[in-house]
Structure 1
Amino acid sequence: MSWHDFHQRQRAIAAVLDSARQNPAQALDQVPAPFSDATELLRALQHKWTQQLIGRVDVALTETGDAPDGDRIQAVTEAWRTTAAANPVLRDLLDRNQADPVLRGDAAREHRMLALASGLAEPAEPDAEVVRVGQAFLQLLRATGVESSRTCLLSLR
């Protein structure tokens, strides 16, 4: 992909997010060039989310590792919430389309990353179990505070 293509894609994503601010339900009705269809656009939107989330999780874990009382669950929770707060339209658009089969694999990878980064699962565990733990973690962090999430999640283990 050339720089021109990259910038064209970024402008198209920005236009879709601007449209979603005005009318979330119809944001994906018209797919802007250079995207060929809604599937390709959804993948690009998910990629944008994932890149930002991974960056924040990495920074949070680095900072937590430097702290004597570092808490990985809290760090990952805050990283996810900060990413969501910084990208409310993107997060809403992805949530509205979460049932789309194209996003299932990406959601599972995000759940896996959250479970491993938070320390609630280990890489040697079965992938389905790691994904399940990550999914539960995400549901809890969206619904509760950090302390409640930690208590509920540790009871899963």
Structure 2
Amino acid sequence: MTTITQGATMGWQDFYARRDALNAAVEQGELRRSAVFGDERELLLALQYRWTQRLTARLELAELSDGDPVDAVGAAWRRTAEDNPNLRALLDAHADDEALRPLIEAEHRTLARAAGLAEAGDSPAEETSIGAAFVALQRSTPTSTPRRNPVERLLRRLAPSA
């Protein structure tokens, strides 16, 4: 049995029922009250948790890359969003929900730190702001076009066989 945060235990049947309810919400693109989630807020928080798990896995892989951390973290965010478009759209539609605000801010701080854009002396508010700007940039960057540094692009133009 798995223990959930509210102190109650959750068996496999509960786990599968919650998973199915989350999948249905993502597929339908709307929050609907279900028997396994007490209210829409609880469902929304579970959807944010699902997003966070998927993004965190990609960020951990990005940290292992030898390239530019900004590029690696940006690519991780964009790939996660591209692989989960309905989940991302549902969360974006409810981004103003007060229950999500601290979780979104925590995500922004995590992204700012992982990308190396936040410094040790930055306040949480500064990190949040930097992370929010970073996410806005990722939303406007096409996923399929890898970002290359200007010198690499110039060398590729000068030497087409490269």
User: Pairwise CA RMSD of aligned residues?
Assistant: 1.6
Distance 1:123 1:48, change over 3 A: farther
Q: What is the TM-score when the length of structure 2 is the normalising length?
A: 0.79
Deviation at 1:58, TM superposition (A): 0.5
CA deviation map 1:12-58 (0-9, x unaligned):
101111212xxxxxx12x31120000000000000000000010011
Instruction: Map 1:30-49; keep pairs closer than 5 Å.
Output: 30-49=32-51
Q: What residue is the counterpart of 1:125 in the other structure?
A: 122
Deviation at 1:7, TM superposition (A): 1.4
- Distance in 2 (CA, whole Å) between partners of 1:84 and 1:77 is 11
Structure 2 residue 81 is matched with structure 1 residue 79: no
Q: Is the 8 A contact 1:116 1:123 kept in 2?
A: no
- Distance in 1 (CA, whole Å) between partners of 2:111 and 2:122 is 14
- Distance in 2 (CA, whole Å) between partners of 1:93 and 1:3 is 26
The answer for unaligned runs of 5 or more in structure 2 is: 1-9, 149-162
Q: Which is greater in Rg?
A: 2
Instruction: Map 1:54-65; keep pairs closer than 5 Å.
Output: 54-62=56-64, 64=65
Q: Is the 8 A contact 1:112 1:130 kept in 2?
A: yes
Say which of 8, 21, 37 aligns to 1:12: 21
- Distance in 2 (CA, whole Å) between partners of 1:123 and 1:40 is 34
Task: Classify the secondary structure of the residue corresponding to 1:120.
Answer: coil
Task: Classify the secondary structure of the residue corresponding to 1:102.
Answer: coil
Deviation at 1:141, TM superposition (A): 1.6
Greater per-residue helix proportion = 1
After TM superposition, what 4+ stretches of structure 1 lie above 4 angstroms from structure 2?
Answer: 145-148
Q: What residue is the counterpart of 1:24 in the other structure?
A: none
Q: What is the TM-score when the length of structure 1 is the normalising length?
A: 0.81
Deviation at 1:3, TM superposition (A): 2.3
Q: What residue is the counterpart of 1:155 in the other structure?
A: none
- Distance in 2 (CA, whole Å) between partners of 1:41 and 1:102 is 11
Distance 1:12 1:120, change over 3 A: same
**Alignment: residue pair count:** 136
- Distance in 1 (CA, whole Å) between partners of 2:72 and 2:80 is 12
What is the letter of the counterpart of residue 27 of structure 2?
A: D
% identity of equivalent residues:
44
